[in-house]
Amino acid sequence: MQWGALSDPFQPCELTVRSSLACLRIFAETQYPVLIGTKGVGVLTRAEYLDLVSASNVVVRLSMLAPQYDSLEPGAPPYAERLAALPKIARSCKRLIVRFQPYSPVVASDCLASLPALRDAGVYGITFEGLKVKAKRPGMVRIAGDWAYPRGLLERHFLRLLEAAHAVGLAMFAGENRLRELGDSLVCCGCEGLAGFVGNS
């Protein structure tokens, strides 16, 4: 199950509502395989949450690309806070994946430079997907209902990141459907090979 694709389960309001804590109790009890997508490290890294993550069959995917995205994400923990939280999360889940999503060429150097620190923090691998927008922008092409970077541009960036990731011991996956076959697995979420997780590729 993918949890957190459309709404972050660890937003600040969770500390009042505590519905995600209740869900984690169910996941720990059932051992149902779950992919968690979040930026909410301020909530997730609290002991009562991480204790349940440790007791569950969970892969955590944390979205973070570069500090320059901080101004675009008001209310979300800044990049530095997410980076500092990685070791604690990595020790508590089956695998920790960092999502380079939504990727833009303007953060290419930041993403490349971050790879050794991500490895040292216990990250297993990286998932890559390009920025998609609803309105036409210069240099973008129409992909179904979205405007996106051309495949050739994304492929060049992905392959450069793939080489750099492998050089430091990180796996690399393509959440970008047009590049899926270039990653280390057709399963883009980094859960392949873990007990209970079954892909559809």
- Across the range 176-197, mean pLDDT stands at 93
Task: With a cut of 70, say whether residue 200 has pLDDT above it.
Answer: no
Query: pLDDT tens, 85-106?
Result: 999 999 999 999 999 999 999 9
CA–chain centroid gap for 126, Å, is: 7
Number of neighbouring beta carbons within 10 Å of residue 35: 19
Mean pLDDT of the 182-197 span: 92
| Buried-exposed string 113-125: b where 16+ CB fall within 10 A, e elsewhere | ebbeebbebbbbb
Q: What is the pLDDT of residue 201?
A: 56
| pTM for the structure as a whole | 0.94
CA proximity to 148, closest of 128, 127, 129, 133 = 133
Answer whether the bond into residue 102 is a cis peptide, omega within 30°.
Answer: yes
Tens-digit pLDDT profile for residues 102-136: 999 999 999 999 999 999 999 999 999 999 999 99
If you search the block for the tokens 């960036």, which residue do you land on? 157
**At a CB cut-off of 8 Å and minimum separation 6, what does 77 contact?**
39, 40, 41, 42, 85
Which pLDDT does position 6 carry in this prediction?
87
Does domain 2-182 match CATH 3.80.30.30?
yes
